[in-house]
Structure 1
Amino acid sequence: MTTDVLISEVGPRDGLQSVKATMPTAHKLAWIDGLHAAGLREIEVGSFVPARLLPQMADVAEVVRHALTRPGLTVMALVPNVRGAEAALASGVHKLTLPVSASEAHSLANVRKTRAQMVDEVRAVVALRRASAPKVRVEAGLSTAFGCTLQGPVPEDDVVRLAVALAEAGADEIGLSDTTGMANPAQVRRLFRRVRAEIGERTGAAHLHNTRGLGLANCLAAHDAGVRTFDSSQGGLGGCPYAPGASGNVVTEDLVFMFEAMGVRTGVDLDRLMAAREALRAGLPGEPLYGMTPEAGLTRGFTYADGRVPAAMKGTA
């Protein structure tokens, strides 16, 4: 299916690492299957970190093996360093993403490295990829790009300089993340345009949070600035354990509805996406799930951007 934007589902990693409960592996696999059946074609399925630090990710290699059997799916995993990248590449992932904080305070809290050290880490991962798995893409996610609860405001010039340094280190994509939910639409539009002016098509995904209710507005601002890949999490699951108060990823269901209602093709089927939500609920019973679209339902007369009618609405007046 032809799409205008790519919705990159990060719930199985970003979402699950932020809740106390550990989803059983069988439920993770069923959830990923449901997301794939809904039309999502890039899923961050886990992170390669020590199980003692994130027990929720202890089964990541098994999850990757299963996800690789889903046709047309780009299987992505987060890695904080070369050691994690070695394990991820051995598992067969299609894409690595490394967290590089624009805030020095957050960088030290999150990965115990300075920003300069993380640029060196990205360079080393790129070299490893080049030698062992040249088709794998390397993404650097610039976290706390719009502000930090530990440091406070993050100068835009710092973000732009860091994006350039990561491009020079060989990262294929450099995305911007509103890790702490502090961004506003004007800021998002301005910063993405500044970064794109410096690194061009290497400008990657918008990873935006709904902490203060501006998630969708910020996604629209990023789209206005030329962004075409958007991270989101089903049910709004997730946040950042090393950024106090950083709750609330953008809800995948709401993001898909917004774009499709605007005439922007996502390739995602909302009926099947709601079915995947039930798989998530079964795997994390009692965990709060968010989203306005799942609660309110589709609008009367809603059609997808390509003219399709949702299955649930066929035959209705």
Structure 2
Amino acid sequence: MKWPASIRICEVGPRDGLQNEKVMLTVEQKVELIDRLVQAGAKMIEIGSFVHPKSVPPMADTDEVAKRIKRVEGVEYRVLVMNVRGLERAEAAGVHKAKLTVSASRAHSLSNLKRTPEEVIRSFAGCADYAAQHNIELSGAISTAFGCPFEGRVALEQVISVVSHFREFGVTELSLSDTTGMANPEQVYGYAIRVKEQFPDITWNLHFHNTRGMGLANVVAGMQAGIDRYDACFAGLGGCPFAPGASGNIATEDLIHMCHEMGIQTGCDLDAVLAVGRSVQQYIGHDSASFILKAGKCSDIVKRKKD
């Protein structure tokens, strides 16, 4: 089995992790966490979302967060948007990478946005035009790419249809997102192989939730299929407020620990990321689903035995 020499991790904690928490962090706390993540080696960070504040109140201060973080050369700061207004806010805040998202599941899309996936994608035409005119790079995320709480397993053909529409707008970086934590390694491998073969010009990213304990196994399947970019969230927070039961992204520290144990480089300082995770738990006032925050690193056990 040939493993990748390295992978790239996009830290989605400041957006996907915090948007589900009852405790809303201050701007100062968010800025501190983002700056520390960069110091720990993060090269891609989803710092928040520019959506209507009534829809996702914890993200209402993303404008201020974006203005106050310390920008470091070589680090990609990105946001989630849903329309041109979101892109306008991103530009005003100095953010030049934005992600559009659409569900592969018709039922999930109708429940969430009251529109079909096709209708949502058509609404992105204005976003593509605005981004091209204002030097904003667009990426896309296909939510419920593997399973839907209303439809069950999502057919690969539905995913491919969404991919094709994104390509029509010139989007060449896409994420397959297991929004509901229903994916399994065999499915992930099969879907990843197929989309890579059919769309070789697209840069692929995978986004897994650990809702049913298969998150890291799905990462392994993705690596076997040749994908080397993964989303992860500090302390394993998160989920989707519009998908029942979709709790828990894979924890950044768990992913880094697994990769380092396998000899796969991430460019991240695991101890520094663990320290961020501990701070996050203090800020939100409860423990999280992170395995390494609970059990420690494998090397900690060896060290204790030697001592």
TM-score normalised by L of structure 2: 0.92
Match of 2:271 in 1: 271
Match of 1:191 in 2: 191
Moved more, 107-116 or 199-208: 107-116
Within the alignment, does 1:299 sit opposite 2:304 as a pair?
Answer: no
2:235·2:281 contact (CA, 8 Å) conserved in 1? no
- Cα 1:109–1:185, aligned 2, differ >3 Å: closer, same or farther? same
1:140·1:173 contact (CA, 8 Å) conserved in 2? yes
Match of 1:308 in 2: none
Within the alignment, does 1:12 sit opposite 2:14 as a pair?
Answer: yes
Quote the Cα distance in structure 1 between the aligned partners of 2:13 and 2:145: 20
Cα distance, 1:301 vs structure 2: 8.4
- Residue identity opposite 1:9 in structure 2: E
- Residue identity opposite 1:144 in structure 2: T
Quote the Cα distance in structure 1 between the aligned partners of 2:125 and 2:287: 39
Match of 2:45 in 1: 43
2:236·2:250 contact (CA, 8 Å) conserved in 1? yes
1:180·1:247 contact (CA, 8 Å) conserved in 2? yes
- Residue identity opposite 2:178 in structure 1: D
Correspondences of 1:169-180 after superposition (within 5 Å): 169-180=169-180
Match of 1:127 in 2: 129
Match of 2:117 in 1: 115
Correspondences of 1:118-267 after superposition (within 5 Å): 118-133=120-135, 136-267=136-267
Quote the Cα distance in structure 1 between the aligned partners of 2:298 and 2:288: 21
Match of 2:86 in 1: 84
Match of 1:74 in 2: 76
SS at 1:206's partner residue? strand
- Residue identity opposite 1:287 in structure 2: H
Moved more, 124-133 or 141-150: 124-133
2:90·2:96 contact (CA, 8 Å) conserved in 1? no
Structure 1: unaligned runs, 5 residues or longer: 303-311
- Measured against aligned partners, the alpha-carbon deviations of 1:44-94 in whole angstroms (never above 9, x if no partner) come to 010001112221111101111123523432111000122212211222213
Quote the Cα distance in structure 2 between the aligned partners of 1:177 and 1:25: 28
Identity %: 41
SS at 2:298's partner residue? coil
2:277·2:293 contact (CA, 8 Å) conserved in 1? no
Count residues with an aligned counterpart: 301
Quote the Cα distance in structure 2 between the aligned partners of 1:68 and 1:105: 41
Cα distance, 1:30 vs structure 2: 1.2
Cα distance, 1:258 vs structure 2: 0.8
- Residue identity opposite 1:47 in structure 2: S
Cα distance, 1:112 vs structure 2: 3.2
Match of 1:63 in 2: 65
1:122·1:140 contact (CA, 8 Å) conserved in 2? no
- Cα 1:262–1:44, aligned 2, differ >3 Å: closer, same or farther? same
1:24·1:283 contact (CA, 8 Å) conserved in 2? no
Structure 2: unaligned runs, 5 residues or longer: none
Match of 1:289 in 2: 288
- Measured against aligned partners, the alpha-carbon deviations of 1:119-176 in whole angstroms (never above 9, x if no partner) come to 223332121111111xx32111000000100222211111112112211221121110
Cα distance, 1:194 vs structure 2: 0.9
Quote the Cα distance in structure 2 between the aligned partners of 1:37 and 1:68: 11
SS at 1:72's partner residue? coil
2:145·2:176 contact (CA, 8 Å) conserved in 1? yes
The root-mean-square deviation of aligned C-alpha atoms, in Å, is 1.9
SS at 1:4's partner residue? coil
